[in-house]
Amino acid sequence: MARTKSEKVIKATPKIIEMRANNASLQEIVKKFDISISTVSLILRNAEQENPALAEVKDKRTGNRHKKALAEMLLKQGFDTVQTAEKLGVSKSIISIWNKNFFKIDLKAKRAKPKIRYFNGTPLHNRIIEVYNENTSASLRKIAKVVGVSYQTVHNHLKQAGVQFKQVN
């Protein structure tokens, strides 16, 4: 069953297009004509296909299409989200959202790799390994308490020494 346009929509169509050409928002149009926003969007989309000048009005109104294109270009050139946001005058969260939803550029690959710390031979490292070897079933927290450091420090030193830890599921 095909839907037909109501007389109300048919009469309002030229006025809707005119309002949009004069930079009216979709919400203003919806309130004035008491037509659903999806119907207004459909009318305007069809009008934009027939008259490309309306699409330019939409671009001038939001400006986001141009900013999105510039953001994508900057991210591809190696700028991070903060630098891109500053250049375009938008928030870094907007850049992240645009990247997630539209560009899908892998920003993690562009980040610097973390530095590898080498603890071998330091007195602290030797003491942690010594306490661990005395009791291999001791928890990280017990070793940390004996040595006088945080359990995360013990974990980092033992991991660097090649100790395999149990995975708790």
**Segment 65-93, tens digit of pLDDT:** 778 888 888 888 888 888 888 888 888 88
CA-nearest of 107, 105, 110, 153 to 128 is 153
The predicted structure's pLDDT at residue 92:
85
Mean pLDDT of 109-130: 72
Mean pLDDT of 44-48: 82
Between 159 and 59, whose confidence is greater?
A: 159
The predicted structure's pLDDT at residue 81:
84
The predicted structure's pLDDT at residue 150:
93
Q: What is the dihedral of CA 8, 10, 11, 17, to 10 degrees?
A: 120
